Amino acid sequence: MDERLREGWQFSKTKLSDKFGWKDYVANLDTGEEPLALVKPDRRLLFFTTADQPQAEAGDMLISFVAPESREERAAQRKEKRGGDNSKD
C-alpha cells in the first residue's frame, strides 16, 4: 500500500443508485483497484474482507482505493456518455 500511495493512488467514494449499481461500479474498476468499505445510509461502516463481502445496494457509499488518473478518467467517460458538459463533474 505504501508504494501505491507514493505512486499517487488515492481513496475515492462512489454512491450507488438505481442508475449506477454494483455491476456498473465493478465494471469501472481498473486492475488492482478494489472496494475497501461500504457506508450504509444508516451510517454503518462495513469492510470488504476475504471472509466478508457486504451486499452493496442503491443508496450505499463505496470507499475504494484507486489508481491516480482513474477518478478523472471516469469523470470524462461519464461526461462523454451523457453527451457533453455537466457541471457536476
pLDDT digits (tens, 9 = 90+) for 36-88: 999 999 999 999 999 999 999 999 999 999 888 756 566 666 666 666 544 44
In a domain, 71, yes or no: yes
Q: Residue 15 belongs to what domain range?
A: 2-81
In a domain, 86, yes or no: no
Helices (H), the chain: 2-6, 22-28, 70-82
Q: What is the pLDDT at residue 76?
A: 64
- The CATH number given to whatever domain includes residue 56 is 3.30.70
Domain count, the chain: 1
CA atoms within 13 A on the CB side of 57: 4
In a domain, 87, yes or no: no
In a domain, 89, yes or no: no
Q: What CA–CA distance (Å, rounded) separates 32 from 62? A: 16
In a domain, 37, yes or no: yes
In a domain, 12, yes or no: yes
User: Against a cut of 0.85, is the pTM above it?
Assistant: no
